[in-house]
């Protein structure tokens, strides 16, 4: 009798939740779309988009918008009635493996080849990281679909650039190795470990040592701790108001005790070493960029992209004109021999031209094999910029 009673209570509560959502008109929906026929329709609806897979968008809708969807004959499914107390998360696999979640973590309300949407009142990021998954709240920033793509007018006119060759010649393997080793030497760069302040100071000193005078700590609070992004700025000589962000996350995680041991050579000393080495090479050859370049090492990526989210939100609020964010994450791992090394190119909707552009540049300047990666990848810091409206690209 007791079980029957509680079951009845749960049914009533569920019913009340749905009624409350219907009263407010709030739903989380998925829309299966045809890129040629449906994207213009979705754009005209002006419904908030939470995420876009290659053939499905996850969106918010009101009751009246559902009627509009019916009139437009769009193929949609109601995923959940939103009462305001739910938390939704996008879970993706960094290694493209099948995602299998423990039921106690929450309820999967949508599943796709490229990720799942999870509803949960409370999550432990460590549960997901140890399985090789990246979890990002869905979504901290809402946006509206714009069915347009940026076209680069210079795509067909790319030629070998002597300045680029000079910069590439300055890139030094020993320097890269030094940066990666020093980052490993911290033992751990886990976001809650006591080393987080000394890690930030180390990055400041490296940029200052290169001769970059404008180096700042950009702090934010996460889970009752102060986390620190490090930002080094080389000002533009002609268009200083235009900003390019080059970076990667400096925190790390391990399956054991991350407070003690999480050296994170590939994930992600390699990505931050790239930012450091590019900055070092530019300063070494006396390079003066036309636009401003900000080299940023992000904190708290492993637990949900919090460092990049904070930076991107502040940038948008302050009207920063970010032309492109270039992200490096896990760029040093390979089991192949030289000559067979691949680089993953993760790209974002609206800025597909960057996939073609980077493929061409890799072919012109390197022996790496470009490999098309994930569309709208949420498993690294570039995602925070794209969802805030900035162009972004992610090397892996």
Instruction: Read off φ and ψ for residue 117, nearest 5 degrees.
Output: -105, 125
Give the pair of three-digit tokens for residue 37.
């026929």
Does residue 348 form part of some domain?
Answer: yes
What pLDDT, in 10s, does the model give residues 253-311? 999 999 999 999 999 999 999 999 999 999 999 999 999 999 999 999 999 999 999 99
The domain tally of the chain equals 2
Residue 104 CA to residue 92 CA, distance in Å, equals: 18
Domain shared by 38 and 175, yes or no:
no
Of 144, 174, 195, the one marking the end of a domain is: 144
Q: Please say whether the dihedral angle defined by the alpha carbons of residues 258, 206, 224 and 119, taken in this order, is positive or negative.
A: negative
Is 218 in the same domain as 256? Answer: yes
CA separation for the pair 325, 308 (Å, rounded): 11
Residue 35 lies in a domain: yes
The answer to whether residues 35 and 83 belong to one domain is: yes
Q: What is the pLDDT of residue 14?
A: 40
One domain for residues 299 and 352: yes
Q: Provide the domain limits for residue 46.
A: 24-144
CA–CA gap between residue 383 and residue 391 (Å, rounded):
10
Handedness of CA 328, 333, 337, 343 (dihedral sign): negative
- Residue 347: inside a domain: yes
Mean pLDDT score of the chain: 90
Q: What is the pLDDT of residues 144-168, one digit of tens each?
A: 777 777 766 555 667 888 999 999 9
Please state, in angstroms and rounded to a whole number, the distance separating the CA atoms of residues 123 and 262. Answer: 22
Q: Which of 282, 307, 309, 277 is nearest to 293 (CA)?
A: 282
Phi, psi of 225 (to 5 degrees): -130, 150
Q: What is the mean pLDDT of residues 227-232?
A: 98
Residue 7's pLDDT band (cuts 50, 70, 90) = very low
Exposure string (b/e) for 264-284, b if CB count within 10 Å is 16 or more? bbbbbbbbbbbbbbbbbbbbe
* CA distances in angstroms from 70 to 67, 73, 77, 125, 131, listed in the order given: 5, 5, 11, 38, 39
61 and 201 in a common domain:
no
pLDDT of residue 156: 61
Give the ranges where the chain is alpha helix by DSSP (H). Answer: 2-24, 39-45, 63-71, 125-129, 162-170, 173-184, 196-210, 271-284, 306-317, 353-365, 382-386
Residue 187 shares a structural domain with residue 317? yes
Whether residue 310 lies inside any domain: the answer is: yes
Q: Does residue 8 lie within any of the structural domains?
A: no
Backbone angles phi, psi at 343, to 5 degrees: -125, 125
Report CA Rg, the chain: 22
Band (1; pLDDT cuts 50, 70, 90): very low
**Nearest to residue 263, comparing CAs of 189, 373, 352?**
189
Residues 125 and 166 in one domain: no
Going from the C-alpha of 138 to that of each of 90, 110, 217, 299, 381, the distances in angstroms are 6, 12, 27, 20, 14
Same structural domain for residues 94 and 213?
A: no
254 and 391 share one domain = yes
Say if CB 59 and CB 31 are below 8 A apart.
Answer: yes
Considering only residues 294 and 13, tell me which one the structure prediction assigns the higher pLDDT: 294
Residue 318, strand partner residues? none
Whether 116 and 110 have beta carbons less than 8 Å apart is answered as: yes
Same domain for 38 and 101: yes
CB 349 within 8 A of CB 389: no
CATH number at residue 248: 3.40.630.10
Q: Let me know whether 185 and 265 are in one domain.
A: yes
- 347, 373 in Cβ contact below 8 A? yes
Average of pLDDT values for 227-252?
A: 98
pLDDT at residue number 58 = 95
Q: For residues 294 and 391, state if they share a domain.
A: yes
């Amino acid at each position: 009798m007791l079980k029957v009673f509680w079951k009845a209570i749960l049914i009533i509560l569920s019913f009340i939740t749905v009624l409350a959502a219907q009263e407010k008109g709030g739903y989380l929906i998925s829309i299966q779309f045809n890129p040629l026929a449906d994207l213009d329709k979705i754009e005209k609806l002006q419904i908030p988009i939470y995420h876009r897979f290659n053939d499905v968008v996850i969106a918010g809708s009101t009751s009246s918008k559902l009627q509009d969807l019916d009139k437009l004959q769009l193929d949609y499914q109601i995923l959940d009635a939103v009462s305001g107390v739910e938390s939704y998360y996008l879970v993706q696999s960094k290694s493209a493996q099948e995602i299998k979640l423990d039921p106690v973590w929450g309820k999967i309300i949508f599943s796709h080849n490229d990720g799942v949407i999870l509803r949960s009142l409370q999550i432990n990021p460590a549960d997901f990281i140890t399985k090789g998954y990246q979890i990002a709240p869905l979504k901290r920033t809402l946006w509206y679909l714009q069915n347009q793509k940026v076209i680069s007018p210079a795509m067909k006119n790319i030629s070998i650039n002597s300045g680029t060759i000079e910069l590439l010649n300055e890139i030094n393997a020993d320097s890269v190795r030094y940066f990666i080793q020093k980052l490993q030497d911290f033992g751990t760069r886990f976001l809650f470990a006591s080393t987080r302040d000394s890690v930030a100071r180390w990055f400041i000193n490296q940029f200052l040592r290169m001769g970059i005078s404008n180096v700042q700590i950009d702090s934010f609070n996460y889970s009752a701790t102060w986390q620190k992004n490090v930002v080094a700025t080389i000002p533009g000589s002609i268009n200083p108001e235009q900003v390019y962000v080059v970076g990667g996350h400096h925190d790390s995680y391990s399956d054991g005790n991350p407070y003690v041991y999480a050296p994170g050579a590939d994930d992600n000393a390699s990505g931050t070493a790239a930012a450091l080495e590019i900055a070092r090479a530019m300063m070494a050859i006396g390079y003066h960029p036309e636009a401003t370049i900000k080299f940023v090492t992000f904190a708290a990526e492993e637990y949900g992209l919090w460092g990049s989210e904070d930076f991107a939100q502040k940038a948008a609020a302050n009207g920063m004109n970010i032309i492109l964010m270039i992200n490096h994450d896990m760029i040093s791992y390979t089991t192949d021999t030289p000559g067979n090394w691949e680089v993953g190119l993760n790209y974002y909707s609206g800025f597909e031209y960057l996939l073609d552009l980077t493929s061409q540049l890799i072919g012109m300047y390197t022996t790496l094999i470009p490999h098309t990666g994930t569309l709208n990848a949420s498993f690294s810091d570039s995602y925070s910029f794209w969802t805030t409206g900035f162009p972004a690209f992610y090397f892996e």
